[in-house]
Amino acid sequence: MGLDDLQLRNYQRRVAEAARGGGNLILVAPTGAGKTAVAVAHAAYVLERNPAARVLFLAPTMALAQQQTGRKRVRDLSLNVARPGRDWAG
């Protein structure tokens, strides 16, 4: 799943392409602006280049984590999802 496979807005595509350049990147945008889509696009890029790589996605709330794991673009990554209280003690 590359950038062409994801339906990204122009600004999301530019940020995802910038992330491919390496280094640090901070994206600040309002709720619902699509920050997670950029993170998923970059995770897909990393995993395509190195299938043995690991990507850690942290969400501040259980609701957000559940929302994201239910989205097709996240499911397409074939991620293993760990849930606090179920998959690890914490």
Residue 7 counted as domain residue: yes
Evaluate whether residue 25 is within a structural domain: yes
**39 found inside a domain:** yes
Mean pLDDT of all residues in 34-39? 87
Establish if 83 belongs to a structural domain: no
**Domain contains 33:** yes
Q: 12 lies in a domain? A: yes
62 has pLDDT over 70:
yes
Q: How many domains in the chain?
A: 1
Q: Is residue 86 part of a domain?
A: no
Q: Is residue 46 within 8 Å of 56, Cβ to Cβ?
A: no
Confidence category of residue 82, pLDDT binned at 50, 70, 90: low
Range of the domain at 15: 3-75
Statement: the pTM of the whole predicted model exceeds 0.85:
no
Which region, left, alpha or beta, applies to residue 40 given φ > 0 means left and ψ of -120 to 50 means alpha? alpha
Residue 84 lies in a domain: no
Mean pLDDT calculated for residue range 36-57: 86
Averaged pLDDT score across all residues of the chain: 79
